Amino acid sequence: MTNHDKSPYSLLESQISIFMRRAEAARLSNIMGKEMDRSSYLILRLLESRGALGIKSISDIFQLDISTVSRQINALEAKGLVERLTDPNDARISLLQLSPDAPALLAEVRQSREQFYEHLLSDWSQDEIVTFGKLLHKFNETAESRKRTR
């Protein structure tokens, strides 16, 4: 730490900012081929892991306005990546699920992203990669739990 960094939180704040900037730059550069925008990727991953969900549930999970999620869903629907179905418990509610084509595309994008990180971290040991992944997971879990208690 430098002299102006008075706490470990200063180091964390700085490094997270740099990490986010670099992650976005890597995404924008599309260096590994298959890519999709972050919001589409996150929504598709959510539907893949949790199954059919309503727009309100998705907006609550991501802490976004329903109108924002609705626009993102409309774009995914136009690309043929999500389908609407009627909620069996309430016919007034539409649920969203992955289309039959979405899992294959999602797998390609995931593989592209994993290859990017494999290349980026090629000089790291497996232990370092696992430790970093576990710490990021812990960080995200902590952030999620704090979000719920506010």
Model confidence over 74-125: pLDDT tens digits?
999 999 999 999 989 888 889 999 999 999 999 998 888 888 889 889 999 9
Q: Chain-centre distance of CA 30, in angstroms? A: 16
Contact 112, 34 (CB under 8 A): yes
| Same domain, residue pair 9 and 44 | no
Domain CATH for 82: 1.10.10.10
Q: Is 30 left (phi over 0), alpha (psi -120 to 50) or beta?
A: left
Residue 22, domain extent:
1-30
- Specify the length of the chain in residues: 150
Based on the structure, what is the number of domains in the chain? 2
User: Residues 40, 25: one domain?
Assistant: no
Q: Do 23 and 9 belong to one domain?
A: yes
**pLDDT per position as a tens digit, 49-68:** 999 999 999 999 998 999 99
